[in-house]
């Protein structure tokens, strides 16, 4: 039973699956990122060509930087809207609270593609948003400024990823012992003082890690820009995706994916670090 | 049936949790392995049960080596500290588990399970789930579950440690009478000296991964072989002594005349005198100590007397006197001579 | 407790934000279900002509039926494989003192933590390299890699909560390893596996970003929807969307109800 070689065989069999499913494919595309395309054929000769191409063409790294900025805005909107919502739900009691939590979780399950589609319906020239704005005389006539551009991508991503920010914030609020809050108001602190000196600092790590995970979600998205971004709504994810579609340049796509991978990895490590900073 | 541990030891990496020990367990006895926590006592039980493999040595059952026998094939069954009852099974299913996995016919199983539940006094709730039972009842289910397997030895790993004091006493009595009734060998592990002395036929005292002493409760209590054993059970008065050529022992409190039948190995010795074996007043043929009374505490059935000997007034001796309302209290700071019979004094080697 | 005016104002303000947020988040189901029942055109919405017509028409749409079939096959197989793997991995990591424990866990979680595009294109290139053509099988592999993390996490949590003495007791009473798994371990894990399977199914039904790399000519519901949506707005889409949303909401409610008692215990 404790035979070393038997144990080793079992070990190899068990980890073979994750290795084949995850490690080898990732290693494979890292490798491919050093190859190149020549007349629609992948040529297996190692070089930094794809990376040099990325850094020397402003179109690519420009898109990369503007995507980072876009994702940052998505996360920021998520926190600005999500924190008050999470706080409000956290403050409720009993059945109401449970119902609200359920309502927070449900959107996580709703079809991603449907959410984007609905957002397109709403933001469209003939959509509800324009109808409302015209009805309230904020706009003279329906406007195209909400659809098929970067603003549309921003609004759509902010809405569809919002539940992913609210939930971690809510969970980190739940972690705060109720007696700390009671103690603070006992000492004469008002709601705002307690919020600022007790609740905000204690829920900060969870909030930051939630925001960072949302950042990663937004970073890899390519369907949203494709559906609401129109011909000019390019993000880094969509650029990578196009290398596997019409543009057909797998090695370049792989190199861009390596850059995305590294960015996501750093963000996830930062998120992990942030969540370890929690005091409660 | 005889179980023999032949130089069995256990190491985890560089940490030696059990030094090589040899130990014999014989048929029908209730043997207790006693030691403070971290002494290696549970390791012995787990080695016998087969949950862990020994680093060295052999475990022999009637001369046959069990070292490579899987847990499930050993004729021993364990009662776990947390009972380890299967939470999704009823009392009846829990007790019948050992028979079920061996493919015992349903009819036979039901009969054996009912008998076992009868023996442990739980025949009223075969359909209950463990979560619906009290601590004592869970304990009984765990016992019934092992005895239906008709093991040669029942291994009990601190089975009473989760119970409160009163229930504990009841269960100690119950365990002992159950063991008598079914006549199976019980190997019991505990850190509670009182419990060990109360229920055991024989005791094995373990400390720092090694055996200190093996013996009956009385031997362990009155004739400790090591300083640890002398100090581990109840209160004791310990003195350093020096063995002289004539066989008498020099102590700071005077010379103890030579003792019969002592086989000491070192000239440095420890003298141990139980507090309840002293009497007030000088006696012939006894070790007499002149003292000054420090205080006297009344504790109901006992009086605790603390005295400082004239020859070594920094020391405090403890004496327990059975309480008797007709005897007047001793004066605090007054003089008193206490005596202990020579045969009541335990002398043991002090290798350090 | 008496609330001051300021606190009351803050509460009302936060309540409004929350209400607004929920309104936006629940817009999809409301908008879609309305437009799937009620016809609309340039002239507005014709409330009087509501019908289930578009739902019936969906049943006649062969490509939609094929997509539903594929989605079900893919999710059932992927979840089943992932569940078995998750149980084996969790038992190995938790009880057998696995070597490289942390590394194994990191690898298992990677497809869930990384952007799906990474998992999708890495598997695409891998399958292309070893000459496997894309189809249902490749989608199943992708989904397995993704939902393994969910199932593994839930199974591991349950396994950690289960005292190891139960397994020792079973062996001690004479059970073989297989019997111990069947009679003791599995009944303990079952609730977690079922919850995990429902959750994993929900994830798999909805998976788009990995699937699109691995599908080839095969199509699943999200891919079919995407395709239909690129073409234009049709009540037929709304009908399908409503069905998809209802199914996912039902699964979410099942998961929430199943997970709730466990949360209650922690408090």
Residues C20 and C82 in one domain: no
- Taking 50 as the threshold, does the pLDDT of residue C265 lie above it? no
- Taking 90 as the threshold, does the pLDDT of residue A258 lie above it? yes
Among residues B222, B250, B283, the one where a domain terminates is: B222
DSSP assignments along B231-283, one per residue: HHSS--EEEEEEE-TTS-EEETTEEEPPPTT---SSSEEEEEE-GGG-EES--
Residues C251 and C219 in one domain: yes
Among residues B166, B192, B222, the one where a domain terminates is: B222
pLDDT at residue C267 in the model: 28
- Taking 80 as the threshold, does the pLDDT of residue A279 lie above it? no
CB contact under 8 A, B84 and C188: no
Counting Cα atoms < 13 Å in the Cβ hemisphere of B171 gives 24
Helices and strands in chain A: count of H runs, count of E runs: 14, 2
Residues B125 and B197 in one domain: yes
Best residue in B53, B71, B146, B159 to probe C by mutation, most C CBs within 10 Å? B71
What is the residue range of B189's domain?
Answer: 2-222
Q: For residue B229, tell me if it sits in a domain.
A: no
Q: For residue B230, tell me if it sits in a domain.
A: no
* b/e code A56-77 from CB counts within 10 Å (16+ = b): eeeebeebbeebbebbeebbeb
Residues C11 and C132 in one domain: no
Q: What is the pLDDT of residues B271-287, one digit of tens each?
A: 999 999 999 888 888 89
CA distance B201 to chain C (A): 25
Does B72 touch chain C if contact means CB atoms closer than 8 Å? yes
Secondary structure element (H or E) that encloses residue B338, with its range: strand B335-341
Interface of C with B (CB under 8 A): 163, 165-166, 168-176, 179, 183-184, 187-188
CATH code (residue C247): 1.10.3720.10
Residues B245 and B218 in one domain: no
Best residue in B77, B79, B84 to probe C by mutation, most C CBs within 10 Å? B84
What is the residue range of C29's domain?
Answer: 5-49
Most confident of A43-57, B84-98, B312-326: B84-98
Residues B275 and B312 in one domain: yes
Rounded to whole angstroms, the Cα distance separating A91 from A86 reads 9
Minimal Cα distance from B100: which residue of C?
A: C175
Residues B79 and B56 in one domain: yes
Higher-pLDDT residue of C161, C4: C161
Residues B243 and B298 in one domain: yes
Q: For residue B302, tell me if it sits in a domain.
A: yes
Chain C residues with CB under 8 Å of A264 CB are 113-115, 118
CA distance C115 to chain A (A): 5
The SS3 assignment for B89 reads coil
Query: Cα separations (Å) of C245 from B230, C60, C63, C146, C250?
Result: 76, 20, 19, 21, 9
Q: What is the pLDDT of residues C186-216, one digit of tens each?
A: 999 999 999 999 999 989 999 999 999 999 8
Higher-pLDDT residue of C46, A69: A69
Minimal Cα distance from B144: which residue of C?
A: C173
CB contact under 8 A, C114 and A220: yes
Domains, chain A, ordered by start: 58-276 (1.10.3720.10)
Rounded to whole angstroms, the Cα distance separating B255 from B262 reads 16
- Taking 60 as the threshold, does the pLDDT of residue A1 lie above it? no
Give all chains having 3 or more CB-to-CB distances under 8 Å with chain B: C
What six digits make up the tokens of B233? 């059970």
CB-nearest partner of A223 from C18, C208, C251? C208
CA-nearest of B141, B170, B149, B178 to B28 is: B178
pLDDT at residue C262 in the model: 42
Beta-bridged to residue A29, according to DSSP, are none
Residues C42 and C172 in one domain: no
Does B80 touch chain C if contact means CB atoms closer than 8 Å? yes
CB-nearest partner of B101 from C166, C173, C188? C173
CB contact under 8 A, C169 and B78: yes
Residues C68 and C42 in one domain: no
Secondary structure element (H or E) that encloses residue A273, with its range: helix A250-276
Q: For residue C54, tell me if it sits in a domain.
A: no
Q: For residue C236, tell me if it sits in a domain.
A: yes
Residues C150 and C85 in one domain: yes
Best residue in A80, A117, A125, A167 to probe C by mutation, most C CBs within 10 Å? A117
Give the mean model confidence (pLDDT) for residues A240-247: 86
Q: Are A134 and A176 in contact (CB under 8 A)?
A: no
Query: Cα separations (Å) of C141 from A40, A212, C70, C134?
Result: 28, 28, 14, 11
Q: For residue B52, tell me if it sits in a domain.
A: yes
Q: For residue C256, tell me if it sits in a domain.
A: yes
Number of folded domains that form chain C: 2
Does B298 touch chain C if contact means CB atoms closer than 8 Å? no
Residues C185 and C227 in one domain: yes
pLDDT at residue C40 in the model: 65
- Taking 50 as the threshold, does the pLDDT of residue B193 lie above it? yes
Residues C13 and C75 in one domain: no
- Sheet hosting strand B56-61, strand order edge to edge: B15-26, B2-12, B56-61, B64-65
Q: For residue B228, tell me if it sits in a domain.
A: no
Residues B185 and B85 in one domain: yes
Residues C77 and C180 in one domain: yes
Residues B139 and B167 in one domain: yes
Residues B130 and B50 in one domain: yes
- Taking 80 as the threshold, does the pLDDT of residue B95 lie above it? yes
Rounded to whole angstroms, the Cα distance separating A40 from A63 reads 25
pTM here is: 0.83
pLDDT at residue B213 in the model: 93
CB contact under 8 A, B72 and C166: no
Q: For residue B86, tell me if it sits in a domain.
A: yes
Q: What is the pLDDT of residues A71-121, one digit of tens each?
A: 999 999 999 999 999 999 998 888 888 888 888 888 888 888 888 888 888
What six digits make up the tokens of B173? 């009595």
Residues C141 and C199 in one domain: yes
Chain B residues with CB under 8 Å of C161 CB are none
CA-nearest of B21, B14, B22, B8 to B55 is: B8
CATH code (residue B263): 2.40.50.140
Q: For residue C56, tell me if it sits in a domain.
A: no
CA-nearest of B239, B320, B248 to B272 is: B239
Give the mean model confidence (pLDDT) for residues B152-173: 89
CB contact under 8 A, B149 and C188: no
Among residues B170, B191, B222, the one where a domain terminates is: B222
Number of folded domains that form chain B: 2
CA distance C195 to chain B (A): 18
Q: For residue B203, tell me if it sits in a domain.
A: yes
- Taking 80 as the threshold, does the pLDDT of residue B296 lie above it? yes
Tokens 């050093």 — which residue?
A34
Residues B73 and B159 in one domain: yes
CB contact under 8 A, B82 and C165: yes
pLDDT at residue B352 in the model: 66
Residues C102 and C27 in one domain: no
Residues B268 and B146 in one domain: no
Q: For residue C205, tell me if it sits in a domain.
A: yes
Q: For residue B154, tell me if it sits in a domain.
A: yes
Chain A residues with CB under 8 Å of C209 CB are 220-223
pLDDT at residue B59 in the model: 93
Tokens 């004094």 — which residue?
B345
Residues B169 and B288 in one domain: no
Does B35 touch chain C if contact means CB atoms closer than 8 Å? no
Chain C residues with CB under 8 Å of B100 CB are 183
Q: What is the pLDDT of residues A132-175, one digit of tens each?
A: 888 888 888 888 888 888 999 999 999 999 999 999 999 999 98
Residues B191 and B258 in one domain: no
- Could you tell me whether strands B249-251 and B268-273 are parallel, antiparallel, or unpaired per DSSP bridges? unpaired
Cα B4 vs. chain centroid, distance in angstroms?
A: 19
Q: For residue C55, tell me if it sits in a domain.
A: no
Residues C96 and C152 in one domain: yes
pLDDT at residue C97 in the model: 65
């Amino acid at each position: 039973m404790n035979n070393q070689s038997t144990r080793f065989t079992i070990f190899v069999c068990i980890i073979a699956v994750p290795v084949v499913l995850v490690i080898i494919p990732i290693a494979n595309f890292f490798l491919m990122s050093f190859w190149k395309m020549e007349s629609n054929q992948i040529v297996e000769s190692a070089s930094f060509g794809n990376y040099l191409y990325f850094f020397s063409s402003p179109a690519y790294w420009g898109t990369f930087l503007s995507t980072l900025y876009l994702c940052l805005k998505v996360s920021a909107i998520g926190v600005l809207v999500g924190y008050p919502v999470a706080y409000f739900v956290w403050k409720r009691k009993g059945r109401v609270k449970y119902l609200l939590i359920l309502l927070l979780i449900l959107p996580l399950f709703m079809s991603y593609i449907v959410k984007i589609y609905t957002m397109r319906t709403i933001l469209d020239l003939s959509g509800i948003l324009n109808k409302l704005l015209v009805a309230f005389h904020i706009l003279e006539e329906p406007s195209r400024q909400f659809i098929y551009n970067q603003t549309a991508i921003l609004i759509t991503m902010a809405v569809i990823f919002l539940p992913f920010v609210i939930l971690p914030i809510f969970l980190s609020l739940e972690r705060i012992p109720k007696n700390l809050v009671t103690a603070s108001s006992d000492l004469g602190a008002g709601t705002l003082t307690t919020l600022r000196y007790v609740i905000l600092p204690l829920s900060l790590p969870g909030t930051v890690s939630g925001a960072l995970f949302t950042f990663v979600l937004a970073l890899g998205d390519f369907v949203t820009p494709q559906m609401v971004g129109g011909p000019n709504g390019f993000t880094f994810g969509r650029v990578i995706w196009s290398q596997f579609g019409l543009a057909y340049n797998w090695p370049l796509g792989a190199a861009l994916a390596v850059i995305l991978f590294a960015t996501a990895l750093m963000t996830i490590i930062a998120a992990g670090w942030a969540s370890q900073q929690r005091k409660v | 049936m005889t179980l023999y541990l032949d130089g069995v030891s256990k190491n985890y990496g560089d940490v030696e949790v059990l030094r090589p020990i040899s130990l014999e367990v014989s048929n029908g006895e209730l043997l207790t392995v006693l030691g403070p926590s971290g002494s290696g006592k549970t390791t012995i039980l787990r080695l016998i049960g087969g949950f862990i493999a020994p680093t060295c040595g052999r475990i022999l059952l009637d001369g046959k080596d069990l070292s490579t026998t899987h847990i499930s094939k050993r004729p021993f069954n364990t009662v776990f500290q947390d009972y380890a009852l299967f939470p999704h099974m009823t009392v009846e299913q829990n007790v019948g588990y050992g028979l079920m996995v061996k493919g015992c016919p349903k009819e036979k199983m039901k009969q054996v399970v009912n008998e076992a539940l009868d023996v442990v006094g739980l025949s009223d709730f075969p359909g209950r789930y463990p979560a619906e039972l009290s601590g004592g009842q869970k304990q009984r289910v765990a016992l019934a579950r092992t005895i239906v397997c008709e093991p040669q030895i029942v291994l009990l790993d601190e089975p009473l440690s989760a119970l409160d004091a009163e229930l504990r006493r009841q269960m100690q009595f119950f365990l002992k009478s159950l063991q008598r009734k079914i006549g199976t060998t019980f190997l019991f592990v505990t850190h509670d000296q009182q419990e060990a002395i109360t229920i055991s036929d024989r005791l094995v005292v373990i400390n720092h991964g090694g055996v200190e002493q093996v013996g009956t409760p009385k031997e362990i209590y009155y004739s400790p072989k090591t300083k640890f054993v002398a100090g581990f059970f109840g209160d004791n008065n310990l003195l350093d002594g020096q063995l002289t050529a004539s066989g008498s022992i020099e102590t700071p409190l005077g010379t103890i005349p030579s003792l019969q039948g002592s086989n000491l190995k070192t000239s440095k010795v420890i003298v141990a005198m139980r507090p309840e074996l002293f009497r007030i007043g000088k006696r012939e043929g006894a070790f007499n100590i002149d003292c000054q009374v420090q205080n006297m505490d009344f504790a109901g059935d006992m009086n605790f007397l603390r005295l400082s000997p004239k020859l070594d007034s920094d020391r405090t001796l403890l004496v327990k006197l059975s309480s008797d309302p007709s005897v007047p209290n001793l004066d605090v700071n007054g003089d008193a001579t206490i005596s202990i019979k020579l045969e009541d004094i335990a002398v043991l080697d002090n290798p350090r | 407790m008496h609330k001051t005016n300021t606190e009351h104002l803050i509460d009302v303000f936060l309540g409004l934000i929350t209400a607004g947020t929920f309104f936006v988040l629940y817009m999809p189901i409301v908008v879609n279900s309305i437009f799937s029942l009620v016809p609309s055109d340039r002239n507005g919405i014709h409330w009087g002509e509501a019908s289930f017509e578009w739902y019936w028409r969906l049943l006649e749409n062969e490509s939609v039926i094929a997509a539903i079939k594929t989605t079900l096959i893919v999710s059932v197989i992927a979840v089943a494989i992932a569940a078995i793997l998750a149980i084996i991995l969790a038992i190995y990591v938790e009880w057998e003192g696995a070597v490289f424990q942390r590394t194994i866990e990191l690898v298992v979680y990677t497809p869930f933590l990384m952007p799906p595009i990474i998992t999708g294109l890495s598997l695409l290139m891998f399958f292309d390299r070893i000459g496997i053509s894309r189809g249902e099988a490749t989608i199943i592999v992708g989904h397995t890699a993704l939902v393994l993390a969910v199932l593994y996490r839930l199974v591991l949590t349950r396994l950690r909560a289960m005292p190891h003495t139960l397994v020792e007791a079973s062996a001690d009473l004479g059970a073989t390893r297989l019997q111990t798994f069947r009679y003791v371990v599995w009944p303990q894990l079952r609730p977690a596996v079922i919850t995990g399977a429902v959750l994993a199914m929900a994830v798999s039904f909805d998976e788009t970003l990995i699937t699109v790399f691995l599908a080839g000519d095969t199509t699943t519901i999200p891919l079919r929807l995407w395709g239909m949506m690129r073409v234009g707005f049709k009540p037929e889409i709304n009908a399908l969307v409503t069905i998809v949303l209802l199914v996912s909401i039902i699964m979410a409610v099942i998961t929430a109800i199943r997970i709730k008692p466990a949360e209650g215990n922690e408090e």
